[in-house]
């Protein structure tokens, strides 16, 4: 998988760092060196060991709270290291490594499928990351580590994996992200490796035959992955096993890793590369006007920042000046540039961040989402941006802007816990590469701000880290700001309106065919940008929501977690409502969450109601943005959602003053009013967002349509009927709709950091505040009834033409509904899916080469389960996809019957381990409990019950249930997306327009199609 995502984390106070002991060095590894753990978050100090080996760094984390293991391997080799003659070779290598090694000839995925594990990978410009998760089983870990030791690269796999890579590229052809990324490369020095096509396809990889490709792959792998002068790879291993055992196992496994004999002088700066930019920068004197696939309007100003040498790169990595620049320039609170532009109704969003972060340069980007008025005035927005930039250059960043960033990062670091072992393993292994020049800093990564680079790590300590100090921050920010200039800007305009241009000077990018034109940036424009000055903007004000560590306290310290059961407790609110509550004795953070739902089925009773709900949500978000922006930065949140279930309001975050924050938000919500112009602006944005549906990937569209069929007709509001209503509703409709959103039965859940001995009091306080603020709220309303899922009789097949005529991929989605909805039957379906999933993937993707997207999975359908088959192809039409799914389905019963007892047992155990996985953060537990309350099922011990039942399920039961479901032929819903300009076989399955769904009875669907 090629990844284009790059992320930077704003983070970062004075917390006492405890020292800890680490395991003694295992005698099995070659010269392991223990790394200093001074920067590790306190919660991990006694659970982590980090080593430096001759060929890689190894980080082991023992997490007894998890039931699974997660491993990530990051290699400091990516797409920029590819030979010019084989574009896409690093990505192709990523695919090939999964297929087997000399020690383990079979694919990693085939082994993981037997223990309900999973794996994936992504290739970045300068590194590649492989990761996997499963039940604790070091054989799986060793298989992944051997990617670095003895891959086989068999010739008979070459053609299939080239097809897989090419299918992935075909899938991305209609992705604006990939299209624009490739177009931006035209501005780079054509001799710089970042200017090349990264994904690869059949043309770039197989032009000289399979043997030529395989031989070059082996040679390239030897020169990069295992070269004696390479930079170190990074391995992160997280497991519930004891730390000593983990360290011993992984270091022993890496004994045969080829060592590094002559490491590069700098691990993160390629001194032998040409400059990324020519002088002048290609295309820098022109506005690039791009015609996108989707209906978006965006103005982008990008400022390339070359590092020059390794020391500059290291300072930017550690001290993060661009994070401070992004924080200030992208601020949305009072006095901000974003607020000014939004008040003019020219933009809906302004975001600032970095992209193209590689060894020798990065880019600071200002991205502005334009309204229709903003589109007309985009040339006036550019000088406004430069006016704010000029203000930043003329006046230093205030202390409070620096301090607030540092404080919030420090709080996140101090209270950090691993919430997703797999995600943390990948982010940490990437971080160890990013901070390869000082691996100890890699252990904290981008979590904290205000850290000093260089050798002063032990001076001016702040929890063992050198503190940069505000003046040093300003110095580096000033250095960065020199590149944010009129003479160093790349201007892009992304809009469908480009099609209205009459110049006819169209150009087309080679790989994706993206249509674009250019306009000269004149000297008069540059002068206007340099001299620009606007009133009413300033640096961000002091954020009054920022908490201090001293103000936050976990109130149940020392309390026994066992005092609180699995389920929240309930009290009668006294007015027909219900209050649920649960104090936190498990996660032990000073955080709380409260959700209130006013059950109201009328909000989404009609397509018009759905349209108004969407507009209402957007209008609230816009109106609250300035107030909530600072609160969000300070770790507090307040959201309002309108759904088929009713009106829901949620508040959460660090619990200092959280009740007061809840009240102030509710008061603003009660007084919420907008003008007719503001209504029109929200309506226009929602209408534009609705049109993005037409450009979704075909497999997503197919999944949408099968899901629609399982809705009862009265609950079915398809996207086209809603879109039609968005364009029709007026301001009077909006105001009338707002008067009725408060009717219904209220129910609330409060959970988190409040005194166990006063456990029902916080919930009552939040509820009482709501009732006091909305004392005039109408109650009652129509009794809410939970929607039910359609029970499908026989079989439904539909075909839908892709609304995007440029997307040539076909896709088929089959959902097979199980008859029985009891817990035991559901688990049997889940077991069958776990056994068959990898076999389906192997048959349709690897053997038959149907396409890149191939998946068999399980999903909830009301109280029961549905089996979901998904295939998307750029080579085959939907008839071939449907036929292949049916062939597999017909043989699936025999496949299940032949599964050995040992494999079946491993699958059941693996499923049990996954379901036994405890929640890692308050929000996870809160959302599970809230889902049970909202659905009115109240099965808070659902997972525990399932784990108890699983061991008693026998293979014969699963086989019989599966065969009965398959042989009956009932409960099947097929949806196929066909290219709108492609030809399909004429059949009863005619093309269905989206709006038809709102009028169809499921039982009459076939007859209506035949008619």
pLDDT band at 462 (very low <50, low <70, confident <90, very high): low
Question: Is there a single domain that holds both residue 754 and residue 829?
Answer: no
Q: Which of 135-149, 353-367, 446-460 has the lowest mean pLDDT?
A: 446-460
CA distances for 226 relative to 218, 231, 255, 316, 434, angstroms: 11, 9, 14, 29, 19
Residues 365, 352 contacting (CB under 8 angstroms): yes
User: Does 849 map to a domain?
Assistant: yes
**H-run or E-run covering 433:** helix 421-434
CA distances for 723 relative to 611, 615, 729, angstroms: 7, 11, 10
> Residue 789 has what pLDDT?
84
Residues 815, 711 contacting (CB under 8 angstroms): no
Question: Is there a single domain that holds both residue 855 and residue 947?
Answer: yes
Residue 824, classified by CB atoms within 10 Å of its CB into exposed (0-12), middle (13-18) or buried (19+), is: middle
Separation between Cα atoms, residue 651 and residue 752, nearest integer Å: 12
How is residue 718 written in tokens?
């398809």
> Residue 18 has what pLDDT?
33
At a CB cut-off of 8 Å and minimum separation 6, what does 405 contact? 10, 11, 12, 323, 324, 327, 449, 450
> Residue 724 has what pLDDT?
95
> Residue 17 has what pLDDT?
32
For 678, other C-beta atoms within 10 Å of its C-beta total 15
Most confidently predicted of 85-89, 225-229, 758-762: 85-89
> Residue 896 has what pLDDT?
96
User: Does 103 map to a domain?
Assistant: no
Question: Is there a single domain that holds both residue 680 and residue 816?
Answer: no
Question: Is there a single domain that holds both residue 680 and residue 592?
Answer: yes
pLDDT exceeds cutoff 60 at 16? no
CA distances for 268 relative to 54, 127, 466, 676, angstroms: 17, 11, 21, 54
The predicted-structure confidence for 801-815, as pLDDT tens digits, reads as follows 999 999 999 999 999
**CATH number of the domain encompassing residue 377:** 3.30.830.10
pLDDT exceeds cutoff 50 at 29? no
Question: Is there a single domain that holds both residue 462 and residue 610?
Answer: no
pLDDT band at 463 (very low <50, low <70, confident <90, very high): low
> Residue 588 has what pLDDT?
86
Mean pLDDT, rounded, for 562-575? 80
pLDDT exceeds cutoff 90 at 124? yes
pLDDT band at 775 (very low <50, low <70, confident <90, very high): confident
If we measure between CA atoms, which residue out of 77, 75, 125, 82 comes closest to residue 213? 82
> Residue 38 has what pLDDT?
80
pLDDT band at 560 (very low <50, low <70, confident <90, very high): low
Residues 561, 585 contacting (CB under 8 angstroms): yes
Question: Is there a single domain that holds both residue 703 and residue 562?
Answer: yes
User: Does 223 map to a domain?
Assistant: no
> Residue 981 has what pLDDT?
66
Which domain-ending residue is among 463, 496, 531?
531
Better-predicted residue by pLDDT, 209 or 655: 209
User: Does 220 map to a domain?
Assistant: no
CA distances for 223 relative to 81, 88, 226, 624, angstroms: 10, 16, 7, 55
pLDDT band at 668 (very low <50, low <70, confident <90, very high): very high
Question: Is there a single domain that holds both residue 644 and residue 513?
Answer: no
> Residue 410 has what pLDDT?
87
Mean pLDDT, rounded, for 623-650? 94
Strand 591-599 and strand 69-75: pairing? unpaired
Mean pLDDT, rounded, for 550-573? 76
User: Does 363 map to a domain?
Assistant: yes
Better-predicted residue by pLDDT, 980 or 22: 980
pLDDT exceeds cutoff 80 at 480? yes
Question: Is there a single domain that holds both residue 605 and residue 527?
Answer: no
The predicted-structure confidence for 741-765, as pLDDT tens digits, reads as follows 998 889 999 999 887 677 778 788 9
Rounded to the nearest 5 degrees, what angle is found at the Cα of 999, between the Cα atoms of 996 and 1004? Answer: 100
Calculate what percentage of the chain has a pLDDT beyond 90.
Answer: 69
Mean pLDDT, rounded, for 298-312? 93
User: Does 92 map to a domain?
Assistant: no
If we measure between CA atoms, which residue out of 810, 879, 875, 979 comes closest to residue 162? 875
Widest distance between CA atoms in the chain? 82
Question: Is there a single domain that holds both residue 769 and residue 833?
Answer: no
pLDDT exceeds cutoff 60 at 196? yes
User: Does 391 map to a domain?
Assistant: yes
Calculate what percentage of the chain has a pLDDT beyond 70.
Answer: 90
> Residue 699 has what pLDDT?
96
Domain span including residue 721: 550-773
Domain count across the chain: 3
Q: Quickly list H helices, 209-292.
A: 210-224, 243-253
Mean pLDDT, rounded, for 71-78? 97
Better-predicted residue by pLDDT, 272 or 709: 709
Separation between Cα atoms, residue 422 and residue 435, nearest integer Å: 20
Separation between Cα atoms, residue 669 and residue 648, nearest integer Å: 12
pLDDT exceeds cutoff 90 at 459? no
Which domain-ending residue is among 498, 531, 564?
531
Q: Scan for tokens 């930017």, then name that residue.
A: 316
Q: Which of 14-23, 769-778, 831-840, 966-975 has the lowest mean pLDDT?
A: 14-23
Mean pLDDT, rounded, for 11-29? 40
> Residue 497 has what pLDDT?
83
CA distances for 322 relative to 313, 315, 476, angstroms: 12, 11, 9
Most confidently predicted of 213-222, 575-584, 838-847, 975-984: 213-222
Question: Is there a single domain that holds both residue 742 and residue 822?
Answer: no
Mean confidence (pLDDT) of the chain: 88
Residues 296, 368 contacting (CB under 8 angstroms): no
pLDDT exceeds cutoff 50 at 194? yes
CA distances for 366 relative to 102, 288, 341, 844, angstroms: 48, 15, 13, 43
pLDDT exceeds cutoff 80 at 456? no
The predicted-structure confidence for 383-421, as pLDDT tens digits, reads as follows 999 999 999 999 999 999 999 998 898 888 888 999 999
Question: Is there a single domain that holds both residue 710 and residue 827?
Answer: no
Which domain-ending residue is among 743, 773, 803?
773
Strand 795-801 and strand 972-978: pairing? parallel
User: Does 919 map to a domain?
Assistant: yes
Question: Is there a single domain that holds both residue 759 and residue 814?
Answer: no
pLDDT exceeds cutoff 70 at 192? yes
pLDDT exceeds cutoff 50 at 209? yes
The predicted-structure confidence for 938-964, as pLDDT tens digits, reads as follows 999 999 999 999 999 999 999 999 999
How is residue 513 written in tokens?
């065919």
């Amino acid at each position: 998988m090629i990844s284009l995502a790059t992320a930077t984390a704003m983070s970062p106070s004075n917390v006492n760092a405890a020292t800890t002991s680490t395991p003694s060095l295992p005698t099995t590894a070659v010269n392991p060196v223990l790394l200093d753990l001074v920067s590790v978050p306190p919660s991990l100090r006694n659970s982590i060991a980090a080593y430096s080996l001759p060929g890689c760094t190894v980080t082991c984390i023992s997490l007894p709270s998890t039931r699974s293991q997660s491993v990530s391997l990051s290699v400091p080799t990516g797409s920029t290291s590819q030979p010019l003659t084989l574009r896409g070779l690093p990505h192709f290598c990523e695919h090939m490594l999964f297929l087997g090694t000399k020690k383990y000839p079979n694919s990693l995925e085939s082994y993981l499928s037997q223990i309900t594990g999973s794996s994936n990978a992504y290739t970045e410009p300068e590194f590649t990351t492989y990761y996997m998760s499963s039940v604790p089983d070091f054989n799986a870990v060793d298989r992944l580590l051997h990617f670095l030791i003895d891959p086989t690269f068999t010739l008979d796999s070459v053609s299939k994996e080239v097809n897989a890579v090419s299918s992935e590229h075909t899938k991305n052809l209609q992705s604006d992200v990939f299209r624009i990324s490739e177009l931006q490369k035209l501005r780079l020095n054509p001799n710089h490796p970042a200017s090349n096509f990264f994904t690869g396809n059949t043309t770039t990889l197989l032009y000289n035959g399979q043997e030529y490709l395989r031989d070059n792959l082996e040679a390239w792998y030897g020169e990069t992955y295992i070269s004696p002068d390479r930079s170190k790879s990074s391995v992160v291993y997280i497991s519930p096993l004891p730390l000593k055992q983990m360290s011993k196992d992984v270091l022993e496994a890496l004994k045969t890793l080829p060592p590094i004999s002559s490491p590069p002088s700098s691990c993160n700066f390629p001194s032998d590369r040409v400059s990324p930019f020519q002088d002048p920068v290609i295309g820098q004197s022109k506005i690039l006007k791009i015609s996108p696939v989707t209906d978006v309007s965006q103005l982008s100003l990008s400022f390339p920042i070359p590092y020059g040498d390794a020391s500059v790169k290291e300072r930017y990595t550690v001290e993060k000046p661009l994070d401070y620049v992004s924080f200030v320039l992208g601020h949305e609170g009072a006095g901000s540039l974003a607020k000014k532009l939004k008040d003019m109704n020219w933009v809906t969003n302004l975001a600032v961040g970095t992209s193209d972060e590689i060894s020798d340069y990065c880019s600071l980007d200002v991205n502005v989402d334009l309204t229709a008025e903003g589109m007309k005035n985009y040339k006036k927005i550019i000088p406004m941006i430069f006016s704010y930039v000029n203000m930043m250059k003329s006046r230093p960043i205030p202390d409070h802007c620096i301090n607030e960033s540092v404080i919030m990062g420090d709080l996140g670091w101090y209270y950090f816990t691993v919430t997703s072992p797999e995600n943390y393993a990948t982010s940490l292994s990437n971080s160890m590469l990013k901070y390869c020049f000082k691996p100890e800093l890699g252990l904290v990564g981008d979590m904290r701000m205000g850290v000093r680079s260089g050798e002063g790590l032990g001076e001016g300590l702040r929890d063992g880290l050198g503190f940069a100090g505000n003046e040093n921050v300003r110095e580096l920010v000033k250095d960065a700001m020199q590149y944010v200039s009129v003479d160093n800007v790349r201007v892009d305009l992304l809009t469908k309106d480009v099609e209205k241009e009459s110049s006819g000077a169209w150009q087309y990018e080679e790989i994706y065919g993206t249509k674009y034109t250019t306009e000269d940036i004149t000297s008069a424009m540059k002068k206007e940008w340099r001299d620009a000055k606007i009133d009413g903007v300033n640096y961000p004000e002091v954020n009054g929501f920022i908490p201090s560590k001293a103000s936050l306290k976990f109130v149940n310290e020392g309390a026994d977690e066992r005092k609180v059961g699995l389920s929240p407790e309930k009290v009668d609110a006294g007015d027909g409502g219900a209050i649920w509550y649960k104090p936190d004795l498990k996660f032990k953070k000073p955080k709380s969450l409260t959700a209130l739902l006013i059950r109201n089925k009328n909000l989404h009773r009609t397509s018009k109601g759905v349209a108004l709900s969407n507009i209402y949500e957007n209008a609230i978000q816009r109106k609250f943005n300035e107030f909530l922006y600072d609160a969000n930065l300070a770790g507090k949140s307040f959201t309002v959602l309108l759904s088929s279930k009713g009106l829901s309001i949620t508040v959460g975050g660090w619990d200092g003053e959280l009740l007061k924050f809840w009240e102030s938000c509710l008061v603003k919500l009660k007084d919420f009013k907008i003008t007719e112009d503001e209504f029109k602006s929200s309506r226009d944005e929602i209408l534009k967002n609705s049109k993005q549906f037409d450009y979704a990937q075909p497999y997503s569209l197919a999944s949408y349509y099968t899901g629609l069929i399982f809705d009862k007709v009265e609950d079915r509001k398809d996207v086209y009927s809603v879109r039609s209503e968005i364009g029709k509703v007026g301001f009077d409709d909006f105001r009338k709709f707002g008067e009725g959103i408060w009717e219904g039965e209220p129910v609330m859940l409060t959970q988190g950091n409040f005194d166990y001995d006063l456990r029902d009091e916080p919930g009552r306080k939040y509820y009482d505040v709501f009732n006091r603020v909305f004392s005039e709220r109408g109650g009652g309303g129509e009794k809410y009834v939970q929607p039910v899922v359609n029970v499908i009789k026989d079989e439904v097949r539909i075909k839908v033409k892709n609304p995007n005529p440029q997307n040539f991929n076909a896709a088929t989605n089959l959902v097979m509904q199980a008859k029985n909805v009891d817990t035991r039957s559901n688990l049997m379906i889940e077991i069958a899916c776990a056994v068959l999933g990898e076999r389906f993937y192997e048959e349709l993707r690897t053997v038959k080469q149907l396409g890149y997207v191939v998946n068999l999975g399980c999903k909830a359908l009301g109280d029961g389960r549905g089996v979901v088959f998904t295939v998307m192809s750029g080579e085959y039409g939907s008839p071939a996809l449907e036929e292949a799914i049916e062939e597999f389905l017909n043989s699936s019963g025999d496949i299940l019957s032949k599964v050995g007892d040992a494999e079946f047992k491993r699958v059941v155990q693996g499923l049990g381990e996954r379901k036994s996985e405890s929640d890692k953060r308050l929000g996870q537990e809160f959302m599970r409990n809230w889902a049970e309350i909202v659905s009115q099922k109240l099965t808070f011990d659902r997972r525990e019950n399932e784990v108890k039942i699983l061991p008693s399920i026998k293979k014969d039961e699963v086989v019989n249930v599966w065969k009965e479901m398959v042989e009956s032929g009932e409960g099947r819903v097929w949806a196929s997306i066909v290219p709108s300009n492609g030809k399909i076989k004429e059949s009863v399955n005619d093309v269905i327009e989206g709006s038809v769904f709102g009028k169809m009875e499921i039982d009459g669907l076939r007859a209506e199609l035949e008619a």
